[in-house]
Copies of this chain bind each other. A is one copy, B any other.
Amino acid sequence: MPHYHAPLRDMRFVLHEVFAADTLWARLPALAETVDAETADAILEEAAKVTSELLAPLNRSGDEEGARWDNGIVSTPAGFREAYATYIEGGWVGLAGNPAYGGLGMPKMLAVQFEEMLYSANASFTLYSALTSGCCLALDAHASEELKQRYLPRLYSGEWAGTMCLTEAQAGSDLGLLRTRAEPQADGSYAISGSKIFITGGEQDLTANIVHLVLARLPDAPAGSKGISLFLVPKFLVEADGALGARNALSCGSLEHKMGIKASATCVMNFDGASGYLVGEPHKGLAAMFTMMNYERLSIGIQGIGCAEASYQNAAAYARDRLQGRAPAGAQAPQKSADPLLVHPDVRRMLLTMRALTEGGRAFSTYVAQQLDLAKHAEDAGERRHAEALVALLTPIAKAFFTDTGLESCIHGQQVFGGHGYIREWGQEQLVRDVRIAQIYEGTNGIQALDLLGRKVAANGGAALRLFAEEMRAFVDEPASRPFARELLAALERLESVSAWLLDQTGKDPALVGAVAVDYLNLFGYVAYAYMWVRMAAAAQASRTSDETFYGAKLATAGFYFAKLLPRIHSLEAVIRAGSTPIQNLADDQF
């Protein structure tokens, strides 16, 4: 019953009207030849078709059927193989890939719109290729020229898929505990032995080969996280001429049974002396992985936005169709047995909360993507460093805040349906189950918060925060009459004041960062979205007379955000300032 329409108008608004993407692209040589507004719109329209017509129809059946394991062979649900074949024909896997190896070189600003569509349409399907993109990024940045030539073109084309093999049973958030070993072989390769869990797409029936990126320890590795190296371990060995050779010594031991994303195969992978190739330098595998983490974490964050958008579309349609009760000021549809749900202020509150968070998230994902594009393509080194600093600061917020607010949105979207929201047939409960994992994987949201407050704010004395604050002030100072400028500045001052207090306190209290990091990330997230809404409101006001329905809705949603969601920072500030003592007061045996 759910039917997904890609929000093309909203995406174009963000890309062109809020962030003037084509002006940026035109001044970056690597992009100027590759993309302009027209190309971008054409790609988005094609992406809308692929996601809504090819992938969305497989979302519920995929959930019902799930991925299956039979003696090491993994089957994806009915229709996935055919859809994948069609999907890769369009060249989508390499959309933002390096053109030197067959990628299309499109900007991340465009890619994030497509990723949102993918996650809206079918999160499980999307994961198979999302991991490939991550794998390509790591190889492109760190692998030898030989490995890149041999593997990247077939990964970008989607013929082969990639995975990330990090977690082990005893090593989750604490990767320093991992035990998988890599023994050097006479031919320069390594024999990889160990067992990895939670490997998305570790085995599947979609691609001819699977390229595993595996974290493991060399024999002389120091203990802990500084003794981890990165290896490329293919399912089938690849001959010098590119032909597939022998099956490598690795296998899928079982699949996990999960709450959601059931069509995504989450594998236990056993490596039994499998042949692998070192990527990057010995013992620097974690750093190599982290190069791509900012890129990947943003994508996983976007799963939160994508699921929330799909849930909103369904909930808004249901609220228009379903007749139940009467408007508070009297019947609006007296000729019918009841008014539509949409007349009820509480239903509107839920829908507007979803909209304000989802549209705020879409703008913020595009903003972070803009910084990623600048960090990669800007000619001026200072501009690149500035963008890199913003990316580092804002990525943990994007990952955690998109997914936390994504769950909140999907819960609202389910609640709008009443009892029908709990029934599988309507799809709303699947979105809740599917989005929930995004708060956990690719670094739990608690880990993201520690990264933000500990490494991205406290460790540099708030320098990166000051860059972001300067930009916000510059934006609202320009024409003094920007809508909601006052509210943004007041919220920014709260963030700065809390940050200064924390910078002062963290040295005195080692538990403080961990105790308040999640609340701090949320506070920062609401302020960042306030900046996004000021930018969206400014763009909407500029064009309001041309389309009152569209731009008026943007301004009204901005008004809702500032009146009804931004005030959450008041409680967050109070909770942060309460410090760590209320959390550390309980002894371990009192839990």
Measured CB to CB, the residues of A under 8 A from B are 167, 170-174, 177, 197-198, 256-260, 316, 319-320, 323-325, 328-329, 337-338, 340, 342, 344-352, 355, 407, 411, 414-415, 418-425, 429, 432-433, 436-437, 439-441, 444-446, 449-450, 510-515, 517-518, 549, 552-553, 556-557, 559-560, 563-564, 567-572, 574-575, 578, 580-591
Q: Which residues of B contact A323 (CB under 8 A)?
A: 170, 177
Q: Which residues of B contact A517 (CB under 8 A)?
A: 346
A170 touches which one: B337, B422, B513 (CB < 8 A)?
A: B337
A423 to B513, CA, bound (A): 29
Q: Which residues of B contact A198 (CB under 8 A)?
A: 419
Q: How near does chain B come to A99, taking the closest CB pair, in angstroms?
A: 35
Q: How near does chain B come to A450, taking the closest CB pair, in angstroms?
A: 7
Q: How near does chain B come to A537, taking the closest CB pair, in angstroms?
A: 13
Contacts A564-B575, A583-B564: A444 and B415 contacting too (C-beta < 8 A)? yes
Q: Which residues of B contact A570 (CB under 8 A)?
A: 570-571, 574
Q: Which 5 A-B pairs have the closest CB atoms?
A: A345-B514, A567-B574, A259-B429, A553-B590, A345-B515
Q: Which residues of B contact A586 (CB under 8 A)?
A: 348, 352, 553, 556-557, 560
A316 touches which one: B342, B436, B515, B591 (CB < 8 A)?
A: B591
A591→B342 contact, CB < 8 A: yes
Contacts A345-B584, A415-B440, A419-B441: A174 and B258 contacting too (C-beta < 8 A)? no
A518→B436 contact, CB < 8 A: no
Q: How near does chain B come to A490, taking the closest CB pair, in angstroms?
A: 12
A350 to B556, CA, bound (A): 35
Contacts A570-B570, A585-B560, A590-B556: A338 and B174 contacting too (C-beta < 8 A)? yes
B511→A329 contact, CB < 8 A: yes
B258→A345 contact, CB < 8 A: no
Please give me the residue from chain B that is nearest to A421 by CB atom: B440
Q: Which residues of B contact A581 (CB under 8 A)?
A: 563
A257 touches which one: B407, B425, B437 (CB < 8 A)?
A: B425
Q: Contacts A259-B432, A342-B591 given; 10 further ones with Cβ under 8 A?
A: A172-B419, A174-B338, A257-B425, A347-B446, A419-B441, A549-B589, A560-B585, A563-B582, A564-B583, A568-B571
Contacts A337-B177, A425-B257, A450-B346: A567 and B559 contacting too (C-beta < 8 A)? no
Please give me the residue from chain B that is nearest to A351 by CB atom: B591
A-B contact pairs, 22 of them (CB 8 A): A167-B419, A172-B324, A197-B419, A256-B423, A257-B424, A260-B422, A345-B511, A345-B513, A346-B514, A346-B517, A347-B446, A349-B518, A351-B591, A352-B586, A415-B440, A415-B444, A415-B445, A422-B440, A560-B583, A560-B586, A570-B570, A571-B572
Main secondary structure of the interface of A (DSSP, over half): helix
Copies in the complex: 2
A329 to B512, CA, bound (A): 10
Q: How near does chain B come to A202, taking the closest CB pair, in angstroms?
A: 14
A81 to B568, CA, bound (A): 48
B349→A515 contact, CB < 8 A: yes
B257→A173 contact, CB < 8 A: no
Please give me the residue from chain B that is nearest to A312 by CB atom: B591
Q: Which residues of B contact A345 (CB under 8 A)?
A: 511-515, 580, 583-584
Q: Which residues of B contact A325 (CB under 8 A)?
A: 173-174
Q: How near does chain B come to A506, taking the closest CB pair, in angstroms?
A: 10
Q: Which residues of B contact A340 (CB under 8 A)?
A: 588
- Name which of A172, A510, A580 has the most chain B CB atoms within 10 A of its CB: A172
A366 to B380, CA, bound (A): 67
Q: Which residues of B contact A355 (CB under 8 A)?
A: 591
A444 to B173, CA, bound (A): 37
Q: How near does chain B come to A279, taking the closest CB pair, in angstroms?
A: 24
A591 touches which one: B319, B445, B582 (CB < 8 A)?
A: B319
A418 to B197, CA, bound (A): 13
Q: Which residues of B contact A571 (CB under 8 A)?
A: 567-572
Q: Which residues of B contact A559 (CB under 8 A)?
A: 582, 585
Q: Which residues of B contact A421 (CB under 8 A)?
A: 440
A112 to B469, CA, bound (A): 52
Q: How near does chain B come to A86, taking the closest CB pair, in angstroms?
A: 29
- Name which of A171, A260, A570, A587 has the most chain B CB atoms within 10 A of its CB: A570
Q: How near does chain B come to A407, taking the closest CB pair, in angstroms?
A: 7
